[in-house]
Structure 1
Amino acid sequence: MKRFHVHIAVEDLAASLRFYSKLFAMQPSVVKDDYAKWMLEDPRVNFAISQRGGKTGLNHLGFQVDSAQELALMREQAERAELSAVDEAGASCCYARSDKHWIEDPSGIAWEAFHTLGEIPVFGEPAVKDSPAASVCCPPQAAATRPKCCG
């Protein structure tokens, strides 16, 4: 079953933690010095915020899936629709290791589909050293235009 994913870059993590905890009437399931995540059940949303020194606002949207098979089906759907996708196997992002792929809408909004493989102790690291597609919890882009959150 899919879970909708929203990731927002915030200016003040502490203030945003208080606001979203009140809005969702619950505390986040993950809290780090630069990141927090709520796994909401109604509606099923993985809502994340981070303070990483980049531009505030929408970072990206996506779908979290429960299995590698479901991720493969979403990748096949993108191919059938002739949507160009960037694959990242074993990506380190947002304190988790995931297999994922990215697509971009006509307005430039990044969408990821991902299957979480496990937790990691760091925010992220490039999936492939020196690759322009390597992300640190950000959509893949050319290194010259990569936001500060992406190292």
Structure 2
Amino acid sequence: MNRFHVHLNVADLAGSIRFYTQLFAAEPSVVKHDYAKWMLEDPRVNFAISSTGRAPGIDHLGLQVDSADELAALGPRLDAAGGTVVPEDATICCYARSDKLWTEDPQGTRWESFHTVGEATTYYAADAACATDGAACTPDVREMKPKIDKGAACCAPQSACC
């Protein structure tokens, strides 16, 4: 089953954690010095906030899936939607290890489709070989180039870059 994902940049992490804890009537499932996340069941959403120096507001939206097969199945849907789809495999982002597909909608809103495979000890792992902006692990799709196809379908997870 897919889970909707919302990631907000916030100026006041502690105040935002208090606000969203009350709004959702639930404590965050992850709290770090620059990040918090709620994995809610009603509504089924992965809601994350961070204070990593980016402008406050919506950083990106997305879909979190439960398996690599579900992520691969999203690839053709993202292609059909018309944006450039950029795979990002074995990435470290938001204290998690994930495989991702990135795109933008016609308004420039970034969309992250991802399958989380484990936890990480850092917010992001900056690596020149990866397609990340280094500031907060979400890529600038306009500046990214799709990975070279190594025999896999265009949007299926490919070899790890990190």
TM-score (norm 1): 0.87
Shift of 1:14: 0.3
Q: In the aligned structure 1, how far is the partner of 2:31 from the partner of 2:54?
A: 19
Count of residue pairs the alignment pairs up: 141
Unpaired segments of 5 or more residues in structure 1?
144-151
Instruction: For residue 138 of structure 1, report the CA deviation from its aligned partner.
Output: 1.4
- Whole-Å Cα distance in 1 between the matches of residues 11 and 139 of structure 2? 19
Higher percent of residues as strand: 1
CA deviations 1:1-32 (Å, max 9, x no partner) are 10000000000000000000000001000000
Partner of 1:59: 59
- Deviation, 1:130, is 5.1
For 2:78, the equivalent position in structure 1 comes to 78
Could you tell me how far apart the structure 1 residues matched to 2:10 and 2:47 are?
Answer: 13
Q: Given residue 129 of structure 1, which amino acid in structure 2 is its aligned partner?
A: A
Which residue number in structure 2 is paired with residue 49 of structure 1? 49
Contact kept, 8 Å, 1:3 with 1:65, in 2: the verdict is: yes
Alpha-carbon distance between aligned partners in 2 of 1:114 and 1:8, rounded to the nearest angstrom: 17
Query: Alpha-carbon deviations, 1:24-81, whole Å to 9, x = none?
Result: 0010000000000000001100000000111110000000000000000001222244
**Contact conserved, 2:5 with 2:64, CA < 8 A, in 1?**
yes
In the aligned structure 2, how far is the partner of 1:82 from the partner of 1:59? 21
Whether contact under 8 Å (2:98, 2:114) holds in the other structure is yes
Write the mapping of 1:95-134 to structure 2, written as runs, cut at 5 A: 95-126=95-126, 128-129=127-128, 133-134=131-132
- Structure 2: segments with no counterpart, 5+ residues: 145-162
Structure 2 CA distance for aligned equivalents of residues 72 and 47 of structure 1: 23
Seq. identity, %: 55
SS in 1 for 2:8: strand
Alpha-carbon separation, structure 2, partners of 1:90 and 1:75: 17
Runs of 4+ in 1 over 4 A off after TM superposition: none
Q: Is the 8 A contact 1:65 1:115 kept in 2?
A: yes
